[in-house]
Amino acid sequence: MQNKGLVKLFAVLFGLVSIYQLSFTFKANQLEKEAKQFAQSKYTENNDISTAELRYLDSLNNQEVYNLGISKYTYSDVKDNAMNLGLDLKGGINAIIEISVKDILKGLANNSKDPIFNQALLDADELQKDSQDSYLESFYTAFDAIKGDTKLASPDIFANRTLSDDITFNMTDGEVQSIISRKVDESIVSAFEVLRNRIDGFGVTSPNIQRLGNGGRILIELPGAKDKKRVVDIITKTAQLQFWETYTTQDLAGYLLQVNQRLLEAQKAATETTEDTTEQTEATEDVDSTSSVIDDLTGQIENDSTAVQENTNPLGIQNLGSGGPVIGIFLAKDKDDVLKKLNANRDLLPVEQRYARFAWGKPADKDSEFVELYGLKSNRDDEPQLSGAVITDARQDYDQVNRPAVSMQMNAKGAKIWEDMTKVAYETRGNIAIVLDNIVYSAPGVSTGPIAGGNSQISGTFTVEEATDLANVLRAGKLPASAEIVQADEVGPSLGQEAIDSGIISFGLALIFVLLWMIFYYGKAGGFADIALLFNILLIFGVLSGLGAVLTLPGIAGIVLTIGISVDANVLIFERIREELAKGKDQKMAIKDGFANALSSILDANITTGLTALILFIFGTGPIKGFATTLIIGILTSLFTAIFITRLLIDWYVNRGGKLDFSTAITKGFLKNVNINFLGKRKIAYVISGLLITAGVASLFTNNLDQGIDFVGGRTYQVRFAQSLSTEEVSKTLNDPAVFGSAEVKTIGADNQLKISTKYLVEDNSTDADEEVQSKLFEALKTYLPDGITYDEFLEGSGDKKIGKMLSSKVSPTIADDIKKSSFWAILGSLVVVFLYILIRFKKWQFSLGAVAAVFHDVLIVLGIFSIAWKWMPFSMEIDQAFIAAILTVIGYSLNDTVVVFDRIREYLNEHSGWSLGKTINASVNSTLSRTLNTSLTTLVVLLAMFFLGADSLRGFLFALIVGVLVGTYSSVFIATPIMYDTAKKGDAAESLKKKVKENEEEEA
């Protein structure tokens, strides 16, 4: 091998860089362990421990914690350089947010009332239900279909004052579309920046936010985040901050009493028409008695006495205000009903108060029974004098009585308006309500004169956390449109730790087996391959850490799978060296020729696998992208270590006088003189495969597949119980019409762990719907849970065994449809790319046809087995994104095996020109049996270790890979090769094939 010095230099540099990168991960783990021990020594409650842990780590952010001599690092620096763990390993929250392009279009059109515009928006909603187009493209399509003579540049649509600098009346629709598309994109970019700024201030380590495609979807990953409600509030809040002048109790108390009186009279009239004379008399007495009720309520303005019973108080007034901005106090549970009644009787308002706006105050706490009502001085356009758009900075602070508050700074325009507002409030002894998302946080008076400079403060019943989040939202700005969570995954930290533990165990056992097997089969040479394999693992983790990639559970599966297939390159090399030694060549020449002859097969096999991994990376999201990332890195590092590092070690040993047999006493001569007539058995193989495929296809049409929520939409929860449960019993409970009406319950892993899926409220992506589903789930499962467990404990996982919800996922029907279609294109794309690569590489379509036919064969059999077995297997066999990753991996593995055989056929066609095509092919397949056995065996053992010892959530994924490896090994010999032979032997095709192969060999030489 030439340039050994350069290879050694690169190997040393890569190794040192990898160790350097991984050292940050070890240091970060050490510091986090110390933080946890410190927190546990101080507190016992989970929430207190988590808070103390974060504070401990925050205190290290700017302190030196790691000294490498030439460089010193703070904890913040260490975390930035450490390997990032995904949600399934660390726990946390993953969500795909969709910014409403519909809202953006409405805003650009100044909320146009044009009927054509609004109908086009409604039609676009319908088109989106079954379309891969963006919402904007659907809107253009819908508008073109109904526009008639209406133009997008109409003054009632986009040629308005807001867009006057960009759009003129004489523009064509095409010109307007270009401008609107740019404006929409700018709004989405603005939303992305707002969300990024909010998340940066959220307080989790290594958050990830990225825009998905050119639409309005944004992926957000928050490893370690535990409070889902807080996360949802942060990322979806529109932050409509407004400042309003307020009415006083005296201004609107009369209106409240008049509405109450009208409701009483309506109640009386209804009673008189439905009850008999006696009942009418009783009703009259009731109405008479209400006169004193009104007197009492009126008296409350002065003496603040308590309202009477609700049956004589239809508006539900619990108290009137005491002269300030609060005009009344009501029960929190009646809020919606009260506003409905007040707005229905606005004709009772005095003329000067006809635009009054009503808003509720922020309750003292979430369990508060009562809520205050404010009256805001609005106008014809219902617009505040001052909005949050003028805020330039905001921070968490404390008010005069040391309560958490938010201080704000306004721009020059806002500061002037604020000064004018506070001047009026000071002169009239009025108040200014600070309203966020239509909730009054505070309504301070102005006692010291007008406030200049634009400084203001929001105070109220905040916790420090709430004040911090509010300041973060205000500082980051408001979203340009509403945001919905269309897909979400929530993983509990305990489940993440279990995944890490099971991943480490399976990883360790698989590695030990592979290391021992290589030594058992190849002797000392296997030991050198083991050293290269360990170095390969170091490089994989080092590259992952250096790139800032996120390590996920499927990512660990990708690394473990890489261990299994990475030995393939060494196996190919060692088998070729054994062949050269068998020809009588001396050791050095055999090693040199063995490496050279194996190179073509190694490159072809890894390139085909790499192409499928690349397609998976392009089309996949989240954990699946993590799997593809580790697989791609593993392929590259495996090539480097097998071709160069193993060669360096072997050459070093041989040059020192060492002797290598590349076998042991047991394996020497194993499969050496095998002469199986594989082509003679192809018809039997065709029949067996035909029967398996027919049974599978029949099952696909009758039994279908167990499609997961990734493909159909819905919500899924993984719940752990203290005892084993019957899935039928729980399913019966949840399928009650009073609960979900439709739910699917499966055991996942142990008998006390259930996976529950439901399509209840599947079309509703709101946080209220999420809360309703979780609440119903808790109430329905309460009889199976330990006594005394609360709703919050259920959501977080309670006790040492973490009983309760461990994981949750949500996928909207729209995004499920997108996932299904992108999965189809991913599989089809991989087949096309590989077909073209093999066609270019081997120059004959017969090779491509055989390889692609074998892949179709493998995919159909895997699908068929899943269709037949999903109802009775003791683990989840859902068809989801992970399954698609498995299918693509099977495609890559099958092609890897097939290409190795095809490479040997091409070589034998050139070397044995006098042989018949059939003899050449049989000899080629027989010569690769040792390699096939070693690669398939090591890969299968690795997968079986993960299947039995790894995480429950990956069992279906791993089962697909196990079936795929078995079927792929079989198909490369009994499907791909025979089909290539049957299509090549017709007429002169065989001779043409030999001639073409010989020409290609000469060209390459």
The pLDDT of residue 574 is 92
Gap between the Cα atoms of 954 and 552, Å rounded: 12
CATH 3.30.1360.200 residue ranges of the chain are 243-478
- Give me the CATH topology for the region 493-702+817-1004: Multidrug efflux transporter AcrB transmembrane fold (1.20.1640)
- The per-residue pLDDT for 647 is 92
d(CA 104, CA 45): 45
803 within 8 A of 753, measured Cβ to Cβ: no
For residues 756 and 777, give the distance between their C-alpha atoms in angstroms, rounded to a whole number.
9
Residue 257 pLDDT: 92
Q: How far apart are CA 463 and CA 465, in angstroms?
A: 5
Six-digit token string for 544: 């992952």
Which class would CATH give 243-478? alpha beta
Q: What are the residue ranges of CATH 3.30.70 in the chain?
A: 714-808
CA–CA separation, 562 vs 939, rounded Å? 9
This prediction's pTM: 0.64
What per-residue confidence (pLDDT) applies to 203?
56
DSSP-assigned beta bridge partners for residue 72: 67
Residues of the chain with pLDDT under 50: 277-310, 799-800, 987-988
Per DSSP, the three-state class of 374 is strand
CATH 1.20.1640.10 domain residues, the chain: 493-702+817-1004
pLDDT attached to residue 293? 39
* CATH no. for 714-808: 3.30.70
**CB 978 within 8 Å of CB 682:** yes
Q: What is the DSSP string of 486-515?
A: EEEEEE-HHHHHHHHHHHHHHHHHHHHHHH
Which of 628, 554, 616, 551 minimizes the C-alpha distance to 206? 551
Token pair recorded at residue 621: 């999201």
- As to burial, measured by CB atoms within 10 angstroms (0-12 exposed, 13-18 middle, 19+ buried), residue 674 is exposed
Q: Quick check: 972 and 898 in contact, CB under 8 A?
A: yes
Per the CB < 8 A criterion, the answer to whether 485 and 94 are in contact is no
Q: Give exposure, 557-592, as e/b (b: 16+ Cβ within 10 Å).
A: bbbbbbbbbbbbbbbbbbbbbbbbbeeebebeebbb
